[in-house]
Amino acid sequence: MILRRLSKHMGEQNWLAVGLDFLIVVLGVFIGVQLGNWNGARADRAAYKDALDRYRAEIVINLETLAAENANMMIGLGAIGEGIDALQSCSDSDDATAAVNRAINLSLGTFGISVRDSALRELTTSPRLLALKADDERRRLSDTAHIVEVYSREATFIETIPLEKRLQDNPLIRVGAPDIVQTRYFGQDFSRVNRRLELAVPVSIACVDNALIKDLFTWERWQAAQPAVGRILAERFQEDLDWLDARS
């Protein structure tokens, strides 16, 4: 409609009307662009706030997970330590045998650290969100992402090293009678028949097997580093949680 009027006024050489029509077109385009930019900026700010809210929820879950894993780790380290002590005692008592068998079965698995970081990665990699952050916010979140990457990699290393050797291959260990393990994982029933390992010889004989003691030692040595990694991550997450609470 405007273009038709503009063409008509140009044909009539009504330059005042032409100028007014042209001004209307330019203003319309300008206002449309500005509205688009304003809506886009508002959407970006909303997306940034949403990402921060999701990051806060991630932190809360991570802190709970790290605390639970640390508690389980300390129990595991205690059991492995008791098993090593019992093995080195060379005592054939029932308590010593039970402690060694408990350590053998526990050392078949390891404790690990699983960190949720999808919102953090979005905050530190999305150009759209990076443009909205002040320098101090960008630096803080970037530092956290670096810490999470480094220490999660270390935690994986600590978790896998003790599993490189199969303890059940030791000729002094045999497969025991089956029992039922009742467990749930993420709300699902994972109950199953499980055969535990046990010493095939008295502790007084097993204690001279250097390989068995070293295998338990390897588990203890590497897994003992996991609480420190978890503590570093937890301290950083707590700092970010305090920062987010102060920011809101």
* 18 vs 176, residue with greater confidence: 176
pLDDT of residue 27: 61
> Does the pLDDT at position 176 exceed 90?
no
Q: What is the mean pLDDT of residues 144-163?
A: 93
Among 183-187, 191-195, 209-213, which range has the highest average pLDDT? Answer: 209-213
pLDDT of 134 reads 76
DSSP state string for the chain: -HHHHHHHHHHTT-HHHHHHHHHHHHHHHHHHHHHHHHHHHHHHHHHHHHHHHHHHHHHHHHHHHHHHHHHHHHHHHHHHHHHHHHHHHT--SHHHHHHHHHHHHHTTS--------HHHHHHHH-HHHHTTS-HHHHHHHHHHHHHHHHHHHHHHHHHHGGGSS-GGGSTTEEEEEEEEE--EETTEE--EEEEEEEESS-HHHHTT-HHHHHHHHHHHHHHTTHHHHHHHHHHHHHHHHHHHHHH-
Which whole number is the average pLDDT over 178-191?
71
Q: Give me 188's structure tokens.
A: 């699902």
Mean pLDDT across 62-91: 95
Q: What are the pLDDT digits (tens) for 1-43?
A: 554 554 554 455 555 554 555 566 566 665 655 655 555 556 6
55 vs 248 pLDDT, higher one:
55
pLDDT score, position 247 = 81
Give the 3-state DSSP-derived string for 180-204, with helices as H, strands as E and coil as C.
EECCEECCEECCEEEEEEEECCCHH
Predicted confidence at residue 9, as pLDDT, reads 47
d(CA 178, CA 195): 4
Q: Which amino acid is at 75?
A: I
Q: What pLDDT shows up at residue 73?
A: 94
- At 142, list the tokens: 């970037």
- Mind listing the pLDDT tens digit for each residue in 33-70? 565 555 555 666 788 889 899 999 999 999 999 999 99
Q: What is the pLDDT, as a whole number, of residue 129?
A: 78
Reported as a single tens digit per residue, the pLDDT across 99-147 is 999 999 999 999 988 899 999 999 998 888 777 777 888 899 999 999 9
Q: Where are the domains of the chain?
A: 2-247
